[in-house]
Structure 1
Amino acid sequence: MIDFRYHLVSIVAIFLALTVGIVLGSTVLQEPIINSAQATAESIKKVNQDQRDQISALQAREEGTSAFVANAAAELVKGDLAAEHVVVVEAPGAPSGLRDQVREMIELAGGTYTGRVALTEKFIAPEQAGVVEGLAAQLSPIGTVFPEGATPYDKAGQVLASALVTTAPMQAGTVNTAASSVLDVFQEGGFISMSDDPAKRATLAVVVAPSTPYEGEAAEAQNGAVVSVAGALDNAAAGTVLAGTATASGTGGVIAALLDSGDEASQVSTVDTLDMPSGRVVLVYALREQHAGRAGAYGIGSGATAFEPTPSASPSPPASGG
């Protein structure tokens, strides 16, 4: 008969064997596992460092290119906007940090900067659409005919354009007496703000898109309001460019909305690299192209067809909008 001592010795022997096996197994496997983990970590570390080096190199190249273009900008755009007057219209949320650079580029190209009109959040607020439409009807110059089916912002854009731009070179730099109160009334109502003297009409217009897309249920209507103003300016001027950063040409952006809009997309040019020195040079080229009666979508966004317009001969004044 097997006694208790035998069972105890057997159990101890089994656990001792397991312990010896675990110790031997861990000792044999430990070094290969550690070596493999260390090799993997070193490989990942090298890949990460290589990627950081590539990013640093690309940033250095971009900074160098931007510096070169900025220094050469005066020669790159020299005379491209000679004798032209340019007004800047900002959408709500447009980047204020680019105002000076845009004005400087216009003036480097020989253009006359007439002033800036900033549309306010109130202007594009859906609940204010009826008020905006009422102001447009009240302030429209005698003889104004709104297209059938025009939206409140089509009408407001048309009336604002009558005070801001013209297709006639001889009228550039002069006030449209038939629309002399338009800007003041819109400003008093809190729908726009102004700087310099945008009432002295321009021949070309730049509309600056918001730095980030509008959000919420009203976003589509707000984009539509900005697109309507851009289209109205183009119809009343020798040309208009809607410019912004790459976010404006992405999903929900104003440039993307214009490119999807149909008629305005074929008439108004777009530039989505306004935050780059080269993009501001492209803005001038796009304005010049508009003056020649052509349009295009330029930049790096999905809707862009090229980074810049194709070089062409000096434009002749068009008979109507760009």
Structure 2
Amino acid sequence: MIDFRYHLVSIVAIFLALAVGIVLGTTLLQDPAVRSAQEMTAALTKTKDELRVQIDALEGREAGNDALVTAMTPDLVAGDLTGQRVLLIDAPGANATVRDAAKQVLDQAGAEVSGQVTLTEKFLDPKGKGVIDGLVNQLKPASMVFQPTATSWDRAGALLAASLITNDPAQANTPNPATADVISTFETGGLLSAEGEVDKRATLAVMFAPERPYEGENAEAQAGALASVADGLDAAGKGTVMVGAAATTGLPGEAVTAVRDDSEISKRVSTVDNADMPGGRVVIVLSLREQLSGRAGQYGIGKGASAPMPAVPSATPSPTTQSGS
């Protein structure tokens, strides 16, 4: 008969064997496991260092290219927009730094900035369409007729454009009697703010898209509202360019994308998706110049861009003068 001591010795032996197996297994596997982990860590560290070197090199190249373009910009755009007045429109959430840098390049191109209109979030709120429709009906001239399919923002864009923009050079830089009433009423309604001589009509417009795409269930409607306003400005003047950043182009709720995705608006309104870069700000000027000739295009480096920049007309070579014998 097996007694208790036998059971105890057996159990102890079993646990001892397990302990010895664990110790032996850990000891045998310890060196390979540690070595493998060390090798993987070294490889990852090497890859990280190599990527850091590549990133530093790319950032250095970008900084050098930006410095070169910035230095050359006055010569690249000189005289391109002489005699034109440009209205700046900020969408809610637009980057003020990008807008100020673009304004400087417009000045270098010979344009005169008439002023700045900043749209508010309330302007884009679908719940406020009734307010917009009421103001438009109150302020629009009797001769202004809208298409049956026109949205609230189509109508608001057309009214604002008629007040702020003209395609008649004789009317440029002259007051529109209706402008003060339209702007003050929209300001009182919390739909926009204005600064500068916006009452003296401009011939061109640049709209600055939000720095980040709109989000939520109304995102695409809000981006589409900005596209509608840009289209209205283009129809009333000599051209409009919507500008943004390539990093966000193509995302839902993004205003540049809204223009590019609309097959009709994109025939008329130009876009530049790298306005946050010195080269992109030069392209804004080139796009406005192209607009003056009745053409439009989608430019930049982001999704939906057809080319980095408009085609630059080649200079006509001067005839070679040959002296006769």
TM-score, with length taken from structure 1: 0.89
Amino acid at match of 1:286: S
**1:107 equivalenced with 2:107 (yes/no):** yes
**1:85 equivalenced with 2:95 (yes/no):** no
Residue 154 of structure 2 contacts residue 229 of structure 2 at CA under 8 Å; is this kept in 1?
A: yes
Cα displacement (A) at 1:193: 0.5
| Structure 2 match to 1:204 | 204
* Correspondences of 1:52-71 after superposition (within 5 Å): 52-71=52-71
* Correspondences of 1:130-279 after superposition (within 5 Å): 130-246=130-246, 247-279=248-280
Regions of 4+ moved over 4 Å? 1-25
Shift in CA distance, 3/263, structure 1 to aligned 2, threshold 3 Å = closer
Aligned residue for 1:130, secondary structure, equals helix
Cα displacement (A) at 1:252: 2.0
Cα displacement (A) at 1:4: 8.3
1:122-178 superposed Cα distances (whole Å, 9 cap, x missing partner) = 211222211211221222234222223211211111111011111111211111235
Cα displacement (A) at 1:258: 1.6
| Structure 2 match to 1:286 | 287
| Structure 1 match to 2:318 | none
Aligned residue for 1:63, secondary structure, equals helix
Shift in CA distance, 8/111, structure 1 to aligned 2, threshold 3 Å = closer
1:274-308 superposed Cα distances (whole Å, 9 cap, x missing partner) = 11111111111111111111111111221111121
Distance 2:105 2:282 in 1: 7
Distance 1:71 1:65 in 2: 10
Distance 1:154 1:25 in 2: 76
Distance 2:290 2:99 in 1: 22
Distance 1:237 1:229 in 2: 12
Shift in CA distance, 14/126, structure 1 to aligned 2, threshold 3 Å = closer
1:233-257 superposed Cα distances (whole Å, 9 cap, x missing partner) = 0001111001112325422211111
| Structure 2 match to 1:311 | 312
Distance 2:18 2:260 in 1: 73
Distance 1:184 1:109 in 2: 31
Distance 1:21 1:131 in 2: 81
Cα displacement (A) at 1:11: 7.2
Aligned residue for 2:306, secondary structure, equals coil
Shift in CA distance, 189/17, structure 1 to aligned 2, threshold 3 Å = closer
Shift in CA distance, 119/18, structure 1 to aligned 2, threshold 3 Å = closer
Cα displacement (A) at 1:313: 5.7
Amino acid at match of 2:172: A
Aligned residue for 1:171, secondary structure, equals coil
Amino acid at match of 2:304: G
Residue 244 of structure 1 contacts residue 273 of structure 1 at CA under 8 Å; is this kept in 2?
A: yes
Aligned residue for 2:195, secondary structure, equals strand
Amino acid at match of 2:214: Y
Cα displacement (A) at 1:222: 1.6
Residue 115 of structure 1 contacts residue 198 of structure 1 at CA under 8 Å; is this kept in 2?
A: yes
Residue 272 of structure 2 contacts residue 300 of structure 2 at CA under 8 Å; is this kept in 1?
A: yes
1:16-40 superposed Cα distances (whole Å, 9 cap, x missing partner) = 6665555454444332222222111
Distance 1:181 1:4 in 2: 106
- Which blocks of at least 5 consecutive residues in structure 2 are unaligned? 316-325
Amino acid at match of 1:268: V
Residue 140 of structure 1 contacts residue 179 of structure 1 at CA under 8 Å; is this kept in 2?
A: no
Distance 1:5 1:134 in 2: 99
TM-score, with length taken from structure 2: 0.88
Aligned residue for 2:137, secondary structure, equals helix
Residue 164 of structure 2 contacts residue 179 of structure 2 at CA under 8 Å; is this kept in 1?
A: no
| Structure 2 match to 1:73 | 73
Distance 1:194 1:5 in 2: 98
- Which blocks of at least 5 consecutive residues in structure 1 are unaligned? 315-322
Percent identity of equivalent pairs: 50
Shift in CA distance, 220/28, structure 1 to aligned 2, threshold 3 Å = closer
Distance 1:306 1:95 in 2: 24
Aligned residue for 2:225, secondary structure, equals helix
User: In the comparison of the two structures, how many residue pairs are matched?
Assistant: 314
Distance 2:198 2:144 in 1: 21
CA RMSD of aligned residues (A): 2.3
